[in-house]
Structure 1
Amino acid sequence: MDMPTAITITGTRATEDRPHGEYDAIFAEYLAPFADEATHFYIGGAIGIDSLTLLWLTTRTRSRITVAVPDTAVDQPSEARQAIATAQDKGRLSELIELRHSGHPSAEAYHYRNRWMVDRSEFVIAFPRGADRTRGTWYTADYAAGQGKPRLIVPI
């Protein structure tokens, strides 16, 4: 397989169990091998893995980054808005996509956003918390599998 040039990152919102330094090490191991100037990452604009990977990619790579939110950026939690603003201020955000889903906030709105990202990607890197297949991260990984897209699952 050639290195993918369009990658969706998905993951849990619950990241408070670990110090941020541990996430830096995880991202260095699992994101860095894909992160070059030819790679375009699609990230949701939520808290947790979304915000952490956005900030990591912003400060440590030259990859292109698109953030997609289910409604608008101002509707996101403060931590997520701050991460988006940091990426914008550093000139690292290629696009901010506001999907303006009428059902936000809802699982349906997040699933819509995640499908939008996967549909534009060749590869998905998922950071799920636990094995509960009803969670959004697993939904996204399973959606990618249904499209025949390869996935890298990194349990958190």
Structure 2
Amino acid sequence: MARTPSKSSPKKPPQTSTAETKLVRELAKILNETDLSEIEMEKGTLKIRVARGGAAVMMSAPASAPMQTPAPSAAPAAATPPIASKPEAHTDAQKSPMVGTAYVRPSPEADSFVSVGDTVKEGDTIMLIEAMKTFNPIGAEKSGTILDILVEDAQPVEFGEPLFVIG
């Protein structure tokens, strides 16, 4: 009796949880709709980081559920407007502790917290950084005189970006 070879079906790639896929897609959507360059989220033992510029979406979970998903395509980050002085020239500048939008005044109709030439004390609020609809005060790390303000009002800033110089 002759046997006919059985047709083997093509192997399917392992499927990730639908909820996790939806979460990655939602984070990518938020990334595309904002000026952020990356979003990192932690939910229980699951950690997800989505970044612009071709970086991979990285997820980590307990060893029993390993997974990695390819990065969704993201539009390139918008160029930031030029500023008067070059921030990289200020190695002693106070840097942004987070990604967000910098505001140099408490409200649109108010004056700036400080101006170049003002004397400040350690802890004085110099500006605000809004991140996830929360306004975070950025205080002076030392006392002195404001030598330069390196960001414009309502300018997006990255983690570690120079903000201002106190001399």
Above 0.5 in TM-score?
Answer: no
Name which structure has the greater RCO, CA cutoff 8 Å, separation 6+: 1
Higher strand proportion (structure 1 or 2)? 2
Q: Give the greater-gyration-radius structure (CA).
A: 2
- TM-score band, normalised by the shorter chain? under 0.3
TM-score w.r.t. length of structure 2: 0.23
TM-score calculated relative to the size of structure 1: 0.24
* Structure number with higher helix proportion: 1
